Amino acid sequence: MDALAPLLVALTGLPALGIAAWYARGDHEQARGLALHWALIGLAILLGAVALYWAGDSRPRITGVAVAMALAVNGLIVSMVLRLRRDEQGRPDR
């Protein structure tokens, strides 16, 4: 049962990698940046799952991993939103 939580966390990271692959096929100017952000989010979640498996039953380690993973994923999401806003503001009116 110690591997159930990390497995579930790893499974929740797979949709982010799928979204990254979907954006990577796009040909609009923001596609590469969005694909990179989504891939990094998926990677952060998968690394968090590995770290949760490493943490085992140690509550301080589990807490540290959960906080680090939450900060990494939320930081990447904020970065993605700021990039989208910057690209939108820099675009001339049509």
Residue 13 belongs to domain spanning: 4-90
Domains of the chain: total = 1
Q: What is the mean pLDDT of residues 41-66?
A: 95
The reported pLDDT for the residue numbered 91 is 64
Q: How far is CA 7 from the centre of its chain?
A: 16
Separation CA 35–CA 18 (nearest Å): 10
pLDDT tens-digit profile of 63-75? 999 999 999 999 9
Task: Inform me whether the pLDDT recorded for 92 exceeds 70.
Answer: no
For the chain, the farthest-separated pair of C-alpha atoms sits apart, in whole angstroms, at 57
